[in-house]
Amino acid sequence: MKNYILLLLTICFFATACEEDEPTTPDYYNATVLKQGTDCGEAFLIQFESGQIGLPENDFDRTFYEINLDTMLRKDGQKLKIKFRDPTDGEHMICTTMGPGFPQIFVLDAFAQ
Instruction: Give the side-chain half-sphere CA count within 13 A for 40.
Output: 21
- Cβ contact 87:49 at 8 Å: no
Of the chain, the percentage scoring pLDDT greater than 90 comes to 52
Predicted TM-score of the model (pTM) = 0.74
Give the residue with greater pLDDT, 77 vs 39. 77
- Cβ contact 67:93 at 8 Å: yes
Q: Is 87 exposed, middle or buried (0-12, 13-18, 19+ CB in 10 A)?
A: middle
- What single-letter DSSP state applies at residue 111? E
Domain locations along the chain: 23-112
Per-residue pLDDT of 25-76, as tens digits, reads 568 999 999 999 988 889 999 999 988 888 888 888 999 999 999 999 999 9
